[in-house]
Amino acid sequence: MWSRLFDFSSVTNTGNNNILISVNSGLGANKFYMEIYENTVYYTNFVTPDLVVNDNIWRHLVWTISTDGTWKMYINGQLYRTNTGMHVPPYALRKYAWIGRSCWDQDAPYNGYMDDFRIYNTVLDANDAASLYNYTSTLTQPGMKYFTIITSSITVNINSLESQYPFRYLRWSAGGNTINYPDHYNEIEIKTKSGVNLVSSSTTVSYISSLPHISSLSIDNIKDGNINTYFETQDAFSTVQVDLGSVVTNIDSIKFWHVWQDGRSYYNVQILISSDGFRWQRVYGAVDTVQTSSGTEVLLGSLSPTLPFYVIPSNYSYDIQPHTSYPDSNNIELTDGVIAGHYFFGTDSPGWWKPWVGWHQNSPTITFNFKTRVTITKVSIHFQGDRAGGIYLPTSVSIGGTLFNVGDLGMNGWQDFIGVWSGSSVSVKLTYTQWTFISEVMFTELSTNPMNHRDCSNLTSLVIPSSVITIDDYAYYQCTNLRSVTIPSSVTYIGKYAFQGCPFTCINNWNPTITRSIGTSALPTNTICGTIIAITTTIILHYYTIITILILILITTLTTIPLSSQLLL
């Protein structure tokens, strides 16, 4: 019920200055339904009583609102309905401008196809509507401007607004608990913004560990929808990987359960996500986690927009093999996402528990190989001990020929080594005369986009060179002193949040009609450059209805839209 073609509102989950078109509303199943709120009161609605739109037929829709309260609807270039004495939307700041989604969370997303979504700054007449339907006019007479949300040539798949962290792969790692040492993975959910759980019986899940899994309990238990069934590993630390099959752009949350009935703690629990299986971002942990029946939920929208990328090596090798008491059985122990921790032997004192890799009276070199050339800015090594209250450390670490002294950790934990290492491999040499143990190595990658300047507090002006075609997501996010920006005509894409938080109010020499795609909140609030900004994005919705919606609107930002007193939809 109440799925939306679009919904613009000042707040969410309650009516407040909404302007919307719905289908399958409470007033008519599979019919167009228009509504306008003034503050929290809705005054008028507009239903197509004899037109059923869910019939696999493309239609072209124009909705106009004049200042005298006249509403008109054109279907396929022909006047379908006229109503007078209707409500006119008040001028208000509408922070939430959704396409294909309601401003009420409980409403279903719109499923269908949508093409060529436009917002105009004047009321179109019958000739304009016919021209748009026949594509014989671009409607560019003097004074007319429009805000293109979807062009006629591009389509993408969404259920709701794109997440700031789309991904395909998820790695869920944990350590044994205080009752017994095996891991227990009970259930995982990955939900879209419309509340759909992407994890089902057909989702591919796999087990990653250097030790074999010998339990009779199936890994399918983590995707059966039952938080009381679980997959148990026989080793104390392991990782489960989920493959969604393709990159999903509208993920809202991740929720997981380990055994929870007796409030067990699991050690160094972490969640990593990736679009390509090579570059990963940590969205949870690594922390000790007490499980309850409510599980642990990660809301992606609450995370920092600048989480670092970690690259996982394709493989690695040793010039000196680990000690037989602390082996690396399948040469994945250092890159499997598992960070060893401690557990309790019943009522005895806490002890450290493998897996980790160890050497005795040797100085090994570990060579990590990547599938492509990378630039690493930080190497993080998790050092371990084999006794409570203490840890064995190497005297020094050499990374790519750069020598580092190792500080005293006192307990198990990470040490970070900062530098710049470029290439398809990185070598790490550990120098020690007694024991040394490590459980994980992580590599933080420098941004691969040369236009990314997130550390930009001293940047006051910017001229993008004409060789640049794309500006990455978050490229100049929160550059708080950037007051002058010049973007050449070569730029065809500006990523989401690319300039959000910058103080400039206009972009120099920019032709927005050439920039074919502009991401969510790409530009600062209140950016007005003397012309309405044209956005090209793409949407697939599943009702097979073609819509052209035209609104007289004052644009001050790409996601925050204050509307004037005249509206053409």
For residue 220, the Cα-to-chain-centroid distance in whole angstroms is 26
The residues, ordered by sequence, that sit 6+ positions from 339 with a Cβ below 8 Å of its Cβ are 173, 175, 237, 267, 268, 270, 286, 382, 439, 440
Lowest mean pLDDT across 159-163, 267-271, 361-365, 512-516:
159-163
Q: What percent of the chain has pLDDT over 70?
A: 72
DSSP characters for 418-434? EEEEEEEEEEEEEE-SS
Give domain status of residue 151, yes or no: yes
- Would the CA dihedral through 550, 58, 535, 521 be positive or negative? positive
Q: Report the distance separating Cα 31 and Cα 331, nearest Å.
A: 60
Lowest mean pLDDT across 112-116, 395-399, 416-420:
112-116
pLDDT tens-digit map of 204-250: 999 988 777 767 789 999 999 999 999 988 666 789 999 999 988 88
Give domain status of residue 280, yes or no: yes
pLDDT confidence of residue 540:
28
Mean pLDDT of 2-15: 81
328 and 291 belong to one structural domain: no
Taking alpha carbons only, the member of 395, 338, 388, 341 closest to residue 363 is 395
pLDDT tens-digit map of 46-75: 777 667 677 777 888 888 888 888 888 888
pLDDT confidence of residue 346:
43
Query: On the CB side of 458, how many CA atoms lie within 13 Å of its CA?
Result: 0
Give domain status of residue 532, yes or no: no
Residue 256 has pLDDT above 80, yes or no: yes
325 and 359 belong to one structural domain: yes
Taking alpha carbons only, the member of 2, 83, 94 closest to residue 39 is 94
The pLDDT mean for the chain works out to 75
pLDDT confidence of residue 180:
59
Beta bridge partners of 271: 172, 284
Residue 516 has pLDDT above 90, yes or no: no
426 and 465 belong to one structural domain: no
Give domain status of residue 82, yes or no: yes
Give domain status of residue 406, yes or no: yes
Q: What angle do CA 491, 494, 495 make, to 5 degrees?
A: 145
547 and 523 belong to one structural domain: no
Question: Please, are residues 244 and 203 in contact by the beta-carbon 8 Å criterion?
Answer: yes
- Name the band, by pLDDT with cuts 50, 70 and 90, for residue 269: very high
Give domain status of residue 393, yes or no: yes
Lowest mean pLDDT across 32-36, 417-421, 468-472:
468-472
pLDDT confidence of residue 362:
86
Tell me which DSSP letter residue 532 carries. Answer: P
DSSP characters for 52-67? ---SS----EEEEE-T
Mean pLDDT of 388-401: 77
Mean pLDDT of 283-291: 89
- Name the band, by pLDDT with cuts 50, 70 and 90, for residue 11: confident
Tokens of 25: 């509303």
pLDDT confidence of residue 305:
67
202 and 294 belong to one structural domain: yes
pLDDT confidence of residue 204:
97
pLDDT confidence of residue 43:
72
pLDDT tens-digit map of 130-182: 887 876 545 554 444 454 444 333 333 333 345 568 899 999 998 776 555 67
Q: Which domain holds residue 341?
A: 315-445
Give domain status of residue 161, yes or no: no
407 and 350 belong to one structural domain: yes
CATH for 299: 2.60.60
The residues, ordered by sequence, that sit 6+ positions from 287 with a Cβ below 8 Å of its Cβ are 268, 269, 270
Q: Report the distance separating Cα 321 and Cα 327, nearest Å.
A: 8
- Looking at 398, 422, 445, the residue that finishes a domain is 445
7 and 149 belong to one structural domain: yes
Total tally of structural domains belonging to the chain: 4
Quote the pTM value: 0.55
pLDDT confidence of residue 448:
43
The residues, ordered by sequence, that sit 6+ positions from 204 with a Cβ below 8 Å of its Cβ are 242, 243, 245
Q: How many helices (H) and strands (E) does the chain have?
A: 1, 38
pLDDT confidence of residue 174:
87
The residues, ordered by sequence, that sit 6+ positions from 431 with a Cβ below 8 Å of its Cβ are 363, 394, 395, 396, 397, 398
Lowest mean pLDDT across 152-161, 321-330, 365-374:
152-161
Question: Please, are residues 520 and 498 in contact by the beta-carbon 8 Å criterion?
Answer: no
Q: What percent of the chain has pLDDT over 90?
A: 19
pLDDT confidence of residue 475:
74
490 and 427 belong to one structural domain: no
477 and 523 belong to one structural domain: yes
Tokens of 142: 């003097």
Give domain status of residue 387, yes or no: yes
294 and 324 belong to one structural domain: no
- Name the band, by pLDDT with cuts 50, 70 and 90, for residue 342: low
pLDDT confidence of residue 227:
93
560 and 506 belong to one structural domain: no
SS3 label, residue 223: helix
pLDDT confidence of residue 241:
96
CATH for 337: 2.60.120.1190
pLDDT confidence of residue 187:
96
How many other CB atoms are found less than 10 A from the CB of residue 307? 15
- Looking at 307, 330, 351, the residue that finishes a domain is 307
- Looking at 428, 445, 462, the residue that finishes a domain is 445
114 and 143 belong to one structural domain: yes
